[in-house]
């Protein structure tokens, strides 16, 4: 009995090692996200933008932006920029080519969405911790699903039709959520955030290879 190449080709597992080069890329864009989150949290908690952003703050003359959108909005924009850079690198690493114009718009859209998710989660924490956790988990799962669709060139809101993809997205979302929750709850325990984010991105790359 003949089988098609797609059926016979073995799919990578969630813990498949992508090779040293790709792994280093995963480490790099994980670092970009971590720096963005650190700066976002510092700004959200009233940190001095000049201290948080260093020389880029006066050089880029972004003080006017922060005065217009408020510190929460400004912090969200800073985070979105870091996420945008991270997601563009992720796209290039996954596809081997630079994102098209359409994909750049989609990446900008879900990067902005992810930034909003982090902001809303932080706002909800003192209101209701359980509600904040549920929102964060569900919203990030949706955002990760969208990001995976864009990576594969699928429709923006296409639901996954394969169990491995669904499980992979769920696992990587839980990893990021747990890392972030412990990071905030344990007085900025950064190591857990780094570990959760690294696991998330490692698995996300493998999920992106599963058809």
Q: What is the pLDDT of residues 169-200, one digit of tens each?
A: 999 999 999 999 999 998 768 999 999 999 99
For the chain, domain boundaries: 18-207
Q: What is the mean pLDDT of residues 141-166?
A: 89
Give residue 96's pLDDT.
Answer: 84
Q: What is the distance of C-alpha 23 from the center of its chain?
A: 17
Distance CA 33, CA 13 (A): 24
Distance CA 180, CA 171 (A): 14
Number of CB atoms found within 10 A of residue 130's CB: 8
Q: What is the mean pLDDT of residues 24-36?
A: 95
How would residue 95 be classed by pLDDT, with cut points 50, 70 and 90?
A: confident
Minimal CA–CA distance to 207: which of 153, 148, 126, 147?
148
Indicate if the pLDDT at residue 54 is higher than 70. no
Q: Which of 93-97, 108-112, 169-173, 181-185 is predicted least confidently? A: 93-97
Rounded to two decimals, what is the model's pTM? 0.86
Q: Is 153 left (phi over 0), alpha (psi -120 to 50) or beta?
A: left
Distance CA 145, CA 26 (A): 18
How would residue 101 be classed by pLDDT, with cut points 50, 70 and 90?
A: confident
Q: Do 84 and 107 contact (CB within 8 A), yes or no?
A: yes
């Amino acid at each position: 009995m003949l089988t098609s190449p797609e059926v016979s080709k073995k799919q990578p597992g969630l813990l498949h090692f992508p090779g040293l080069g790709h792994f280093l890329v995963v480490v790099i864009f994980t670092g970009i996200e971590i720096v963005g989150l650190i700066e976002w949290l510092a700004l959200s908690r009233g940190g001095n933008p000049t201290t948080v952003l260093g020389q880029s703050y006066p050089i880029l003359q972004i003080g006017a932006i922060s005065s217009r959108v408020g510190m929460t909005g400004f912090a969200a924009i800073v985070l979105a920029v870091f996420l945008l850079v991270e997601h563009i690198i992720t796209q290039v690493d996954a596809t081997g080519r630079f994102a098209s114009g359409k994909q750049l718009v989609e990446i900008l859209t879900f990067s902005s969405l992810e930034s909003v998710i982090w902001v809303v989660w932080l706002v909800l924490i003192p209101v209701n911790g359980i509600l904040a956790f549920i929102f964060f988990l569900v919203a990030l799962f949706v955002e990760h699903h969208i990001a995976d669709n864009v990576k594969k060139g699928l429709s923006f809101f296409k639901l996954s039709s394969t169990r491995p993809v669904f499980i992979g997205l769920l696992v990587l979302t839980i990893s990021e959520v747990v890392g972030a929750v412990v990071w905030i709850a344990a007085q900025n325990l950064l190591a857990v955030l780094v570990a959760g984010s690294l696991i998330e991105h490692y698995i996300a790359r493998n999920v992106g290879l599963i058809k």
